[in-house]
Structure 1
């Protein structure tokens, strides 16, 4: 179940604030293990550039994709000092939240998905920031934490993105259609949330494609642990064998899923 639109607008700023706190306390040259092509400074520029790009899409009510080089300030501050980067990140998040609020959820805006509304970007940029904050926290040795409703919605959104890719015939997902996986599935189970939070997911695999729903049910493999850690495993930001979650059953099914969805 989606969060209210205004909540996403607020979370863009809140999650960016937490990212800024991590980046301020670390060396910008620190490599990011979960995004090995980037150091912390480059990760921060990626996030802040995405915020400005989405803000420009919403501001202009874009009907097609905008080239990154047309977006003011996209490439980050120069020189890239810690103080300048911190200010730049804050400004980009504020800009995005302001444009989203001015537009409203139903404003028509180009997206790369089926949903062509500002609401898509409010949700996408919230979770883009959450997941890259997990990257930054991991690189800096900071304990990652996130609100349960935000984390659960991030898992929902990722599954919806994968469904969209599946409908488009994405070849990367073909391993999930293997006949030997038919009838198997994955159960995600958060152990630190109350039952009414519904923080459990069942993903059923079949030759015609996967299906998912929020449900407590048995599957070929289960991932059990704190919701923030289940989210990180599902987004490949935490190894399943890290000891922070339990993997029960056929671990190979989970490995196949994570390998097929490694582009997120």
Structure 2
């Protein structure tokens, strides 16, 4: 998958949804936020990651120190700022080198890691905008499936004691996710060290089936998924115990 091209396209689609809308409208899936705050969050986040990459940082960057982190006050300028924010990250990765290690919240990773991370930050927040405005959320099934994989990758990487995914599944409990419009499948298993995942079909304590877009929105808490088989409490508990 061309993550760079997808990031540019998703930023464009995010901006297009906001054109001509009331940005003071609340975002139900991001409690306490407005559409304007969501736009600022996404664009500044892209530029925050770009600055980390460009400066080859080995420590976190204070978001208040992001260069160009505030959009212009007018709508057209703010939307252009958002559309350019992802490109700022792509330019930084190209200049620094995709394989150059830089800081991430998971420890040092290649600079190119940030492109996929920011891509799926955009896909999910684009869904937030669609939900807030009552618009349909359309996304390529392979891109949505990759979003599920990326979300699970982050969860598995943060399963140590006290980390985000440590208590998501009880030891011996398994959860199978099956995207019905792609070949993508994931089987998550709880163990003493947290959650592990294999991209395989396997009999599990609970299974969730649906289009990849529904699984992406379900696993990120944006949509209720109803096609749950087996012990439904496993899915419900998984969502309750896994911070977004």
Q: Could you say which TM-score interval applies, normalised by the shorter chain? A: over 0.9
Root-mean-square deviation over aligned CA pairs: 1.8
Q: Does 1:170 align with 2:145?
A: no
Q: Does 1:235 align with 2:220?
A: yes
Which 4+ runs in 1 deviate beyond 3 A?
171-177
1:250 to 231, 234, 243: 231
8 Å contact from structure 2 (residues 214, 225) kept in 1: no
Shift of the alpha carbon at 1:110?
1.4
Shift of the alpha carbon at 1:207?
3.6
In structure 1, runs of 5+ residues without a counterpart are none
Q: Give distance in 2, aligned partners of 1:175 and 1:108.
A: 30
Q: Give distance in 1, aligned partners of 2:35 and 2:62.
A: 24
Q: Give distance in 1, aligned partners of 2:47 and 2:212.
A: 30
Match of 2:126 in 1: 133
8 Å contact from structure 1 (residues 10, 97) kept in 2: no
Q: Does 1:99 align with 2:88?
A: no
Q: Give distance in 2, aligned partners of 1:206 and 1:83.
A: 50
Match of 1:90 in 2: 83
Q: Give distance in 2, aligned partners of 1:40 and 1:234.
A: 22
8 Å contact from structure 2 (residues 190, 196) kept in 1: yes
Match of 2:203 in 1: 218
TM-score relative to the length of structure 1: 0.86
Match of 1:184 in 2: 173
Q: Give distance in 1, aligned partners of 2:81 and 2:194.
A: 42
- Aligned 1:8-157 pairs, distance under 5 A: 8-77=3-72, 79=73, 81-157=74-150
Shift of the alpha carbon at 1:47?
0.2
TM-score relative to the length of structure 2: 0.92
In structure 2, runs of 5+ residues without a counterpart are none
8 Å contact from structure 1 (residues 175, 256) kept in 2: no
Cα 1:116–1:171 change in 2 (3 A) is closer
Cα 1:166–1:175 change in 2 (3 A) is closer
Shift of the alpha carbon at 1:172?
4.8
Shift of the alpha carbon at 1:174?
4.7
Measured against aligned partners, the alpha-carbon deviations of 1:39-91 in whole angstroms (never above 9, x if no partner) come to: 111101100000111111111111211112221221332x2x32222111012
1:200 to 177, 180, 185: 185
1:259 to 227, 240, 244: 240
Which structure's residues are more often helix, by fraction? 1
